[in-house]
Amino acid sequence: MTGGPRPLSASPSALVDAHDVALMDLDGVVYRGSQAVPHAAVTIAAARDRGMRVVYVTNNALRPPAEVVRRLASVGVSAAVPDVVTSAQAAARVLAQRLPAGAAVLVAGGEGLREAVTAEGLRPVTTAGEQPVAVVQGFDPDLDYARLAEAALAIRAGAFWVASNVDATVPTERGLMPGNGSLVAMLRTATGCDPMVTGKPERAMHEESVRRSGARFPLIVGDRLDTDIESAVRSGTPSLLVLTGVAAPAELLRAQARHRPTYLAADLRGLLACHPGVVVTVGRAQVDGVPQGADVDGNPHCDDVVAVCGGWVAQVRDSTLTWR
């Protein structure tokens, strides 16, 4: 199996006891649109009672941290402003490291992005005529053609372009809606330029999250393979994928190595549970005392693979996957 898919990892103790901080995504993990994700609030409260700090790490640059705190309260989750890390903050920090204090930055995004830029000592502007030295773009459902056109003009004039994230979609109670990545693609087409991206899965976001949380043994918790889980793989951080948002089981089965989580759970209750190891057998094996991976004469099939994890059994036989 060298070079093949890695099985999920085992944790003999509950994840809440093995990690000091959960770097937790919001959309699709704690809430979907205005609706709470089932079991999220109760599980988060239980994790905090057992000593785990929960820090909410979101690629959504629209809302300032204080508004995120209020939104969490509306779905029954208690949090404080320092518990929230946004892609807007990561983008603004990158800009502040590259630009002089007071530099003009065209903000193609919402209040969360404007607030983060201001907090870093930079000056938000809205038009290319104000000669911004940089453009920062983040999710905003009210971002219209006129504002995108101003951003395109500034980028074409040489402004440094930063995108808070490139999530193609954002989960809502109605389903998946276009995300910031869809609008970034529009500006790419219009300008022929590529932005510097700071949100998940980029290292800038992870470093900002660890810096603000003080985590020593963090666990990344999320619902997206291409942001949350890839961020974990890139940074060498253990991860828990929950199936309450974007990622679906079929997508996970096809995932490349950079999108494979350390642990898997149906929802956030996986934080409070131990995670059994995966036993993989190639060729003839037995599951519940029944021979597996053999033809009618008892000869093993060369492509038969049986994987057992807790009460789940997955088998590839004659290139067909089945599970129970």
* The pLDDT of residue 304: 85
Q: With 50 as the cut, is the pLDDT of residue 323 above it?
A: yes
| pTM, to two decimals | 0.84
The per-residue pLDDT for range 21-75, each reduced to its tens digit, is 999 999 999 998 889 999 999 999 999 999 999 999 999 899 999 999 999 999 9
Is 110 within 8 Å of 142 (Cβ atoms)?
A: yes
Average pLDDT over residues 260-282: 94
* The pLDDT of residue 4: 43
Q: With 70 as the cut, is the pLDDT of residue 292 above it?
A: no
Q: With 70 as the cut, is the pLDDT of residue 294 above it?
A: no
* The pLDDT of residue 321: 86
The per-residue pLDDT for range 173-206, each reduced to its tens digit, is 788 889 999 999 999 999 999 999 999 999 999 9
Average pLDDT over residues 261-269: 96
Q: How far is CA 154 from CA 82, 98, 157, 199, in A?
A: 33, 17, 5, 22
Q: With 80 as the cut, is the pLDDT of residue 3 above it?
A: no
* The pLDDT of residue 302: 53
* 27 noted as active-site residue: yes
Q: Regarding the domain with residue range 15-59+201-272, which homologous superfamily does it belong to in the CATH classification? A: HAD superfamily/HAD-like (3.40.50.1000)
Query: Is 191 or 167 the better-scoring residue by pLDDT?
Result: 191
Q: What is the distance of C-alpha 205 from the center of its chain?
A: 10
| Spatial CB neighbours of 204, under 8 Å, sequence gap ≥ 6 | 90, 91, 93, 94, 198
* The pLDDT of residue 268: 98
Catalytic residue among 25, 83, 226, 304: 25
- pLDDT class of 92 with cuts at 50, 70, 90: very high
Rounded Cα distance between 296 and 132, Å, is 73
Average pLDDT over residues 287-304: 53
Q: With 70 as the cut, is the pLDDT of residue 214 above it?
A: yes
Q: With 50 as the cut, is the pLDDT of residue 2 above it?
A: no
Rounded Cα distance between 82 and 174, Å, is 30
CATH topology (fold) of 88-197: Rossmann fold (3.40.50)
Q: Where are the domains of the chain?
A: 15-59+201-272, 88-197, 279-323
* 25 noted as active-site residue: yes
**Domain pair 15-59+201-272 / 88-197, same fold:** yes
Query: Is 256 or 294 the better-scoring residue by pLDDT?
Result: 256
Catalytic residue among 17, 20, 27, 228: 27
